[in-house]
Every structure is written in structure tokens, then in C-alpha cells.
A and B are shown apart, each in its own frame.
Chain A
Amino acid sequence: DTGVSQDPRHKITKRGQNVTFRCDPISEHNRLYWYRQTLGQGPEFLTYFQNEAQLEKSRLLSDRFSAERPKGSFSTLEIQRTEQGDSAMYLCASSLGDSWRGETQYFGPGTRLLVL
């Protein structure tokens, strides 16, 4: 069974550049989540999709951040005009569910972003 995959695993960019990350969930999972984790902290929720619909966005997700899941399969997270404060690990997770039942979220390996 293939787990959640993320690409790239590492990204170094200069301040002001745009970056895009990709997440491929577990194949039958209809829900997909993005979290951000900074050093010494637990992951913080950014947004989540059920199929192709983006159902919830955190206030952490500024206008420079956008996420899509166009066909209800893979998702992309884009950060425009990156800032040094965007440096973090970006984690993707997926789960299977139709209503709120606290379904288990399975995480990918993450994309580590460094903004110089």
C-alpha cells in the first residue's frame, strides 16, 4: 500500500520567489490536509480538502498561500513572494471519511522549505 508522498523533499529559495509543493495522498483517501511545522513546535493546520472542495482554511494561510486539489487526487500548495518566516516543514496528510468521526490522518514525509 503506497503511503502519502510529497515532492520536493527539500526546497531552498530566495526571498520573494514563488514555490509550489505537491502532495499525493493514499489512493482511496478523499480527504487531504496541509500542515506547517516550525522548529520545536507541533504541526499547525493550514487547510483541508474533501475531494476537490477546500472546506477549511486557517488564519495562518495568508493571501500569499494558495492550495488546490483540482481533480480530488493530488494537491498543490503554492507560496508567492516567499518570506524568511515561511521557512518550515510543510506536511501533507490524508484520510478516508464522509462525516466528522476523527478519522486517522496519515502523513507524508514533508517538504522542508528554507527561504534565504
Chain B
Amino acid sequence: AQKVTQAQTEISVVEKEDVTLDCVYETRDTTYYLFWYKQPPSGELVFLIRRNSFDEQNEISGRYSWNFQKSTSSFNFTITASQVVDSAVYFCALPQGGSEKLVFGKGTKLTVNP
């Protein structure tokens, strides 16, 4: 069965620092997708990125970047020059094999202090 591990429960940084959130996953599927979502204090899960297992290129979107390494089953997320508005809980997820059911990690709570 799919499993997602986010070992960092809480991270606290000062504004403008770079921060990396780790995600390690387990799957027996040869084709799979990985997701990151952001959950600010308001509670709504905001979609950040979807990555196909065939595409191992790193992705950059503004201050956000993602490092996908199939060899280590990791899909890490880096925020460059963090801002207070980045404070949220971040979840990594992947679908259960052959299903649309998403399996989430426990999340990493990021606090960016001014």
C-alpha cells in the first residue's frame, strides 16, 4: 500500500531564509503521481504541484521548487526567501494504486517569523 512520510513535524524559520520540506514515499506502482498541498490557518487545502513519476526534472515556480528523486523515493519542496505568508501546514500526497484516493503524509507545519 502507498505510504507518505513527512518526518519534519514543525519547522520554524526567520523571514528570507530558505527552507526545505521533506517527503518520502512508498509505492509498488511503476507509474504514479505525487502532489503537494498547502493548508493555511483558514483550513482550505491549496493545490501546489502535481508530478508524474516519469518526469524527474526539477520544477521551479517563483520562490517554490521541487526536487523529485526516484532513486530515493523523495519529492522535496523548497521555498526560497521565505515570507510570513508561507506559514502553513504543507502536505505531500500520492494516489492509492489504481485509485483516485489520495494518501497524505501527516504534514509539516512551517512557521515563518518576521
Chains A and B are bound partners: yes
Provide the residues of chain B in CB contact with A109, threshold 8 Å.
42-44
> Could you tell me if A43 and B102 are in contact, using CB atoms closer than 8 angstroms?
yes
Q: How many residues of A contact B (CB 8 A)?
A: 29
B91 in contact with A31 (CB, 8 Å)? no
Chain A residue, CB-CB nearest to B6: A42
Is A33 within 8 A of B105, CB to CB?
A: no
B104 & A43 in contact (Cβ 8 Å cutoff) = yes
In the complex formed, the residue of A with least CB distance to B50 is A104
Q: Which residues on the A side are within 8 Å of B105 (C-beta)?
A: 42
Tell me whether A85 is interfacial, beta carbon within 8 Å. Answer: no
Among the 9-residue stretches A12-20, A71-79, A94-102, the one with 4 or more Cβ atoms under 8 Å from chain B is A94-102
Decide if B95 touches A102 in the complex (CB within 8 Å).
yes
Per-position binary interface string of chain B over residues 69-105, scored 1 when its CB falls under 8 Å from any chain A CB and 0 otherwise: 0000000000000000000000101111011111111
A residues less than 8 Å from B52 (CB atoms): 102
Stretch at the interface among B11-19, B30-38, B60-68: B30-38
Q: Are B45 and A103 within 8 A (Cβ)?
A: no
How many angstroms between the C-alpha atoms of A48 and B102 in the bound complex?
11
Contacts of A56-103 to chain B: CB distance below 8 A: 56, 58, 89, 91, 93, 95, 97, 100-103
Q: Contact check, B101 vs A102: say whether CB atoms are below 8 A apart.
A: no
